[in-house]
Amino acid sequence: MSTIILCQLDDIADGGALGLPQHTQRSPQGLVAVRRGDQAWVYVNRCPHFSVPLNYHPEVFCTYRGQVLMCAHHSAMFSFESGMCVDGPCKGAALEQVPVQLIDGKLQM
Ligand code: FES
């Protein structure tokens, strides 16, 4: 299977999130990447609460203190590292993680 370059690490704000709506292999709404320092994680952009995208507006995702990604609908909060919902209406559920590698500053899957 060929490698897909999702984005550059520096495309993602440190402590923030970047929507990757063009990458629809796993979901029509695409993916979302979150970053803290030199680490990044990628998830399918689908909240486990109501199976809807985590954002209202393209490219606009809410994060808090570089720790959690928040769903725009009912404020479920998901850990950057694990995708687990740590607070909110679907506590204990998790986002679907997409395994990625960081090579030469590029996030690849
Ligand atoms: S749809 Fe995400 S918290 Fe309800």
For the domain made up of 5-108, give the CATH fold. Answer: Rieske Iron-sulfur Protein (2.102.10)
For the chain, what are the domain ranges?
Answer: 5-108
Residue 84 CA to its chain's centroid (Å): 12
Instruction: Give the phi and the psi of residue 10 in degrees, each rounded to 5.
Output: -70, -10
Q: pLDDT at position 14, please?
A: 97
Contact 72, 20 (CB under 8 A): no
- 26 is written with which tokens? 């796993």
Q: Which of 12-21, 24-33, 79-88 has the lowest mean pLDDT?
A: 24-33
1, pLDDT greater than 70: no
Burial 64-90 (b: 16+ CB within 10 A, else e): eeeebbbbbbeebbbbbeebbbeebeb
Residue of 51, 68, 90, 91 best suited for mutating to test ligand 1, as the one with most atoms within 8 Å of CB: 90
What separation in Å is there between the alpha carbon of 74 and the centre of ligand 1?
5
Q: What does pLDDT average to over the chain? A: 95
| Three-state SS at 9 | helix
**DSSP helix/strand/coil, 65:** coil
